[in-house]
Structures are given as C-alpha cells and as structure tokens.
Amino acid sequence: MRKKISAAHWKMFKNTKESLAFLDEFLPAIAGHDRDDILIFPTATSLSTVIDRVQDTNVRAGAQTMHWLNEGPFTGQTSPTMLTSIGTTHVLLGHSERRLYANESYEHVNLKLKAAIAHDLIPVLCLGEMLADRQTGYTKDTLLAQMGAALANLPTEKAQTLVIAYEPVWAIGTGSTATPEAADQAHAIIRDDLKNRFGPVVASATRILYGGSVKPDNVSSLLCMPNIDGALIGGASLDPGALAAMVKYKI
Ligand code: PEP
C-alpha cells in the first residue's frame, strides 16, 4: 500500500504573514489526520517560517525549486544545502511554470534531482504533456522523453525516495481537469517506465501524484484510481478550508 500525499503548491502567492494566517486555520482542521502525508510548497521567503510553524505537526514543507550546486555566482538561486539548513524536506523539480518562464530543461532537472537526493531532499519530479501532444497522440512519447531526460544515469538505489507528479500542462490552472481514467492511464505509463528503469520494487513503491485543477469536488474521483497516489494542488490549495477538505477526501 502506498501512503497517499496531499501537496499544496502555493506558487507566488502568500507572504509570510498570510502563510501563518493560513496555517492558523489549516493546522487545527487537519490535526490528527495521519492517513496521508501532507506537504506545503510555500514561496521562498515564507519557507523558513512555515517550516518552523509546522514542526510537531504532520505537515512538511518544501521548496518550489533549487539550483544543483551548493554555492556560486548564480543570482537569485537557492542551493540544496541552504534548503536543508532550514529543515526543508522536499523540493519540487521541473514544474511546467519553471520550464516555461525560467527556461528550465529536463537536463537541468536531472542535475537538480541528483543533487536533491545527494542532500536527502525528497524530489517531487513534475512531468506532463502539452495540449498539442495529447491532441496529436504524443502523450506517451512525451512522458517517456521527460522521464528519460530527468532520470538519466540515476542508479536504482538513489530512486527510492522519488515522488513524481503527473501534471498535464493543459490542466494546470485552467479548470480542465484530466478525467480520472486519462490521468490513471498516464500514471500507468509512468509506473511502467519506472519498472523498466528501476525494477518492480521501486515501481510499485513510488508515489505518483496527479496535478491540474484538482478541487474539493473532483479529488475523490481522482484519488480512488489505482495508480493515483495523491494530488499536487495549486489554486485550490490557497484556501485553508478547501485544502483541509481535499486532504480529508473520502473514497
Ligand atoms: C500546479 O501548479 O502544480 C497546479 C496543479 O495548479 P492548479 O491546481 O491550479 O491547476
């Protein structure tokens, strides 16, 4: 049995004060809920404060990106050791908005992923096809190419903690959620590729999250699918009541 993950991705929303106000409402609402893992990815300026605030709760906090080197002349970047020094446990890598607006390639993601694992940060690797890929029948090819580049030369023993988020780009922030069947099919492709790469044990243990317009009214139908091990939630995670409701989805 894979423990499911509910992950909130706040993108460039919520300053430190707003993050704390969110937690004041959210934490009591999910207290004692240990069925699933709960993650929050706040902005870089709020991360340290959020980590301190969720200590002694069942919530963990992660960074939205990082560089692969520990230090250097890289303006605006944050390194793996800077993240671990404040108690960060997870890092999102390869989110489509980073690929689109920050020119991040899967070759960069590969370097970041290896650096994260080397520093005991749990990478949440984001993958997903564009609408044109889906419409022209290239979803599988796209996912396999992204997996191939992001996971190149990663030895099996390093793949144990990996989390993957399947996020079809056409579903992010659009309200066009993938159907549970389409999402499950994409997850099955990813799991099959994990099996070819790392063997059946890693493939069956790896959590694969779905992201793309997850809301309180569709979360249960997605999370009851056999290959969907949780949700990465953007817009709908900004409201503490909505996130608490999604964390406590019923099957
Ligand atoms: C995301 O950006 O990771 C995401 C899933 O966003 P949304 O839930 O708003 O589609």
Which atom number of ligand 1 is nearest to the Cα of residue 213?
A: 10
Ligand 1 centroid distance, CA of 157 (Å): 30
d(CA 36, ligand 1 centre) in Å: 19
- Give Cβ neighbours of residue 126 (< 8 Å, ≥ 6 apart): 92, 93, 94, 95, 96, 164, 165, 167, 211, 232
What pLDDT is attached to residue 1? 85
- Pairing label, strands 230-233, 90-93: unpaired
Q: How far is the CA of 10 from the centre of ligand 1 (A)?
A: 9
pLDDT at residue 134 in the model: 97
Task: List, in order of start, the domains of the chain with CATH numbers.
Answer: 5-247 (3.20.20.70)
Query: 92 phi and psi, to 5 degrees?
Result: -80, 135
The active-site residue out of 90, 95, 108, 187 is 95
Catalytic-residue membership of 95: yes
Residue 96 alpha carbon to ligand 1 centre in Å: 10
Number of the ligand 1 atom closest to the C-alpha atom of 92? 3
Nearest ligand 1 atom, CA 172? 10
Global pTM reads 0.97
Residue nearest to atom 2 of ligand 1 (CA): 234
Contact 173, 213 (CB under 8 A): yes
Where b means 16+ CB within 10 Å and e means fewer, 215-241 reads bbebbebbbebebbbbbbbbbbbbebe
* pLDDT at site 104: 95
The yes-or-no answer on residue 167 being catalytic is yes
Closest-CA residue, ligand 1 atom 3, reads 234
pLDDT along the chain (251 residues), means of 10: 96 98 98 96 98 97 98 97 98 97 96 98 98 98 98 97 98 97 98 98 98 98 98 98 97 81
Distance between CA atoms of residues 109 and 225, nearest Å? 28
Distance 72 CA to ligand 1 centre (A): 31
Indicate which residue of 9, 104, 167, 187 is catalytic.
167
Task: Give the binding-site residues of ligand 1, using a 6 Å CB cut-off.
Answer: 9, 167, 172-173, 211-214, 232-236
